[in-house]
Amino acid sequence: MASKKPKNPDNVIARNKRASFDFQLLETFEAGVALAGWEVKSLRAGKAQLTDSYVLMKNGEAWLLGSQITPLETASTHFVADPTRTRKLLLHKKELAKILAATTQKGQTCVCTQLYWKGHLVKARIALAHGKKTHDKRDTQKERDWGRQKQRIIRDNVKQ
């Protein structure tokens, strides 16, 4: 028998870890994603990347750009599948207005931080973000390193 891949307990398909490093995340939203059938099958296989993805507001609608969903071999034989196509995000009008108002301000953008399953639906967690400067990134790195050192000190002292 073939061994099955263990399921994620939190149903996360893909995370954009780079977004939290490059940006200061201000406010998050949950959005539905309009997908084709082959994309859903690829997401079930875990073939998604969000590394350079961002959200673009156009004509009062939100669009996910830069995300990559690699098609399965069976899907690519039947028709042409574009892995980096623009996907529509489904949000309420108030949320769209809030995102549009924030992105028109100087220095704010909207990025996709993760794709996940909610029941049988695919949802995207998007966040309003403000770009970090290099010194902010260094401070984050220092805090992370100090946290690791604290854990090592505590672990070593508890064992003795």
**Cα–Cα distance measured from residue 160 to residue 150, given in angstroms and rounded to the nearest whole number:** 16
| Helical (H) or strand (E) element with 42 | helix 37-44
For residue 23, what pLDDT is reported? 84
For residue 28, what pLDDT is reported? 92
Average pLDDT of each block of 10 consecutive residues along the chain (160 residues)? Answer: 55 87 88 88 86 88 89 69 84 92 86 90 91 79 90 83
For residue 93, what pLDDT is reported? 93
For residue 92, what pLDDT is reported? 94
**Cα–Cα distance measured from residue 67 to residue 1, given in angstroms and rounded to the nearest whole number:** 34
For residue 149, what pLDDT is reported? 92
Ordered by where they begin, the domains of the chain are 12-133 (2.40.280.10)
The torsion region of residue 46 among left (phi > 0), alpha (psi -120 to 50) and beta comes to left
For residue 2, what pLDDT is reported? 55
**Cα–Cα distance measured from residue 128 to residue 69, given in angstroms and rounded to the nearest whole number:** 23
Instruction: Please give the structure tokens belonging to residue 8.
Output: 């994620």
Rounded to a whole number of angstroms, the CA Rg of the chain reads 19
For residue 158, what pLDDT is reported? 80
**Cα–Cα distance measured from residue 88 to residue 95, given in angstroms and rounded to the nearest whole number:** 14
For residue 63, what pLDDT is reported? 93
pTM greater than 0.85: no
**Cα–Cα distance measured from residue 25 to residue 16, given in angstroms and rounded to the nearest whole number:** 12
